[in-house]
Each structure stands twice: as structure tokens, then as C-alpha cells.
Structure 1
Amino acid sequence: MNQPHVAILDDEPEIRQMLAQALGDAGFRTSCFARATEFEAALKHATPDVCLVDLGLPDRDGLALVHRLALESGATIIIISGRAQVQDRVTGLELGADDYIIKPFEPAEVVARIRARLRRPASFAGSASAETARFNGWTAHFDRYILTRSDGAEIPFSHAEGEVLRLFLESPKRLITRTQMQDSLGGAAGESFDRAMDVRISRLRTKLGEDPRNPRLIKTIYGAGYIFLGDVTWH
């Protein structure tokens, strides 16, 4: 089995060394970067499974980098930051991060969060081996993070949006509660998780051409959760 690859982007050498040691002991491959320019250059050759990104970078705005990674890379993105305000966490998640870990942290916590992100829960893993789903004139390519419309137009989606979309496509025409979403997708329950889900679902609706006032595919059941009403086939 291939070892999952984790890229660590942090300008503090002690943090990089601590994380690389803990992740190596846990069976992960790691690459460490002190600057965003080095990190971005490496991404041109290979995309890691997980990116750990510090927001306080010397040569890039960390949040802007997280947003671009979410749109382009397909990797799981976990922010590691000393910014502990709720609004900082909400902003990071809204821009596409999958999780947010506040410094100082225990290395074991980071390892556990990464494992949770890479592990698909059994209750939603019925189609885990399939990478393409067709529904209502759309095709979702989870290996390329692309939605293909019936006219052939291609629309990219982020890893975070893909997690939500896959959750819906694996359980069509069934109520998915907020609790089920939190259990499946990980992250701490609360305002920041709810806001992040609202943003991801809103973006998916926009990409699917949904009327936000009367969506046909992703229905909100107020006080309960969501139902995906499409007819889905996996390939």
C-alpha cells in the first residue's frame, strides 16, 4: 500500500521537524517547505494527499494560497495557525480548507485529524471505489475534480466541495442531517462547521446552475438537513 504523502508548509523549522517526525512515525511520507514559492514549485510535479498550511507565511498570503489550493489541487487542506479567533477559522473553511488546527497543538492531534480526513466512513462508502457519477445531465469526475455538463462544458470543483458532492451522490433521495455530515466529513461541530457547509453547498448549487431560491437537486429541509433529489449512476 502506498504511503499517503503530506506536504508541510510552515516557516518555523521546529514545527516542520516536529510534524515530519510525528507523521513519519505514523507511516506517512512528508515533504517540508519554509516558503510558499518552494511549495508551489513542488506542486507542479506532484500533488500530495494532504497539505498542512500555516497562514503566517513570509512570501504569500496564507488564506489566498489556501483558496487557490482548494480550487486547483484536489488535495486535502488543513490549516495550522496561531490565529484562534472564530472568524479566522470560519474564513479559512469558507475559502476551501477542510480543517483548521490552532497552534500550539499536539502532533498526535494532527496525525489523528489527517487520518480522519483520509478515512472514508463505512456508512457512506458504498461507492468508494468508483470515481465517476452521472446524474441529471451532469457527470462528476472525482479523479479529476471536474463536473462535465451535458454540452461538454467542464467546471472544476474543490476537494472540499467534492467531499460534500460525493456524500450527496452516495445517498440520493435520503435525508442527510447536519450531524451525519459532521460525522462523515469530520471537523468540530458548531458555527464554523455549519458556515463552511453552507458555503460549500451554495457553491455546488451555483456550479450546477441551480436557482438558489428553488433548487431542484440539493434541497434544504429546514431544521433537519438536506436531500439530493437526482438520479445517480456510478461508473
Structure 2
Amino acid sequence: MLVAAACLGVVAGAMLQAATGFGFSLLAAPLLFAAIDPEPAVVLLLVLGLEVNVLTLAGERRRPRPLPRTTALLLAWATPGALAGVAVLRALPPGALQVAVTLGVVGTLAARRVTTAHVPAWAAGLAAGALTTTTSTNGPPLLLHLLGRGVTPTQVRDTLTVCFVGLAGLGALALFGTGDPALPDAGLTLGLLPAVAAGHLVGRRAFRRLSESGRYELVLTVALVAAVGVGLIGALV
């Protein structure tokens, strides 16, 4: 039952990220961490997250315009953070990591209500790197940093997407460079790859119309609250 719910969460996350460049891991991670062990869950989220973000960049009908210097700075600081995150992933028990995933989603709910913030690039990068290899919910520190710079929504979306692609690579290097990580089930991975692609295609239209209707924020908030609830249940069972 939990594995089926996790698969639905992965597809829903892909749909959400298709329109916003944000939200895949926030919906998928609590469910996956509840369904399978933490380390294979992180590996699976890195693979699927990379797929989602590459599809997002490739599906644009315009040239993406991330902030180059900001992206490079964030990823540079994320490198030591990713290595530290691997140590945390392998040291903490699954229950503690499940709680950490849920807190990451709660942090995102709070971050989306912040209009001005002053999170420096080094802190955002370190935190995002560490979160990439512990819970995969690495969006909040990046979002807070970009919001504090007062950049346009398009620049936020594009910079986040490029950062997520880079963080997937850094996370994989950190995990495989420090040992042999536990891998997710091959059948589950192969089944989710096309499901994520299909969810992404559906989401590009469905969520764009939802955004134009003015109901996007409500739906996103409900989805994140549901993810928090599932995460708490997973931590207790």
C-alpha cells in the first residue's frame, strides 16, 4: 500500500514540477521514505528528480535564463554540504530521517510565505547540498536565497531547475564516491521512469491552467499539507 502511494506521490510531484520548477521531492520524498529504506529512496529521488528537471528545461518554448553566477556559487557551496549529508544519511536511523523529510516539507510551506529573506549564497548552498543527500528536499534554502535577491519569478524558476540538475549530479558523486550506496529496486525504478515522464506531460497543461485560474497556491498548499501528514504517519509506523 505504501509503495503504491509513493508511486502516486512521485507522479503528482512530476506534474507539479512541470509547471513551477519546484515541488517534486516535496511530494515524493515523504511517501518514498515511508515506503522504502532511506538510502535507496535518496538514490531513486536523485534519478527521478534529474529526469523531471531535464524534461522541464527541454520542454520550455523559450531559452531558460537562470542566474549564472548565482547558480555556480550555490553549487560550489553545495559540494561540501552533499558530502556531509551522506554521513548524516548513513548515521541516522530511518525514523529520524523520515521526520527530517517531513520537517523539510514544513519548511517549504513556511518559505513560500516569505516575501523577503536574507539567506547568503554560502548558507543556502551548504544547506541545499546537505539536504540533497539526506532527505532530497533541497528547495527551501535555494528558494529563500532567491527570494531575498528580488529576482523575477521566471529567473527563480529557471535558476532552481538548473540548480536541481546540478545537485542531482553532486548528490550522485557524493554517494558513490564515499562507498557503495544501497540501490532502489530495479523494477520500481524502471516502472517510475516512464510514469514520471507521463506525469510531466500531463502536468504542463493541467497545472498551467490551474495557475491561470488563481487556484494554484491553494492546491499546492493542500498537497504539501497532505505530504506532511503522510510523512508523520510514516514516521510513526
Q: When the two structures are superposed, what TM-score results if normalisation uses the length of structure 1? A: 0.23
Give the structure with the larger helix fraction. 2
Higher relative contact order (CA 8 A, sep 6+): 2
In our comparison, the structure showing a higher alpha carbon Rg is 1
Whose strand fraction is larger, Structure 1's or Structure 2's? 1
TM-score (norm 2): 0.23
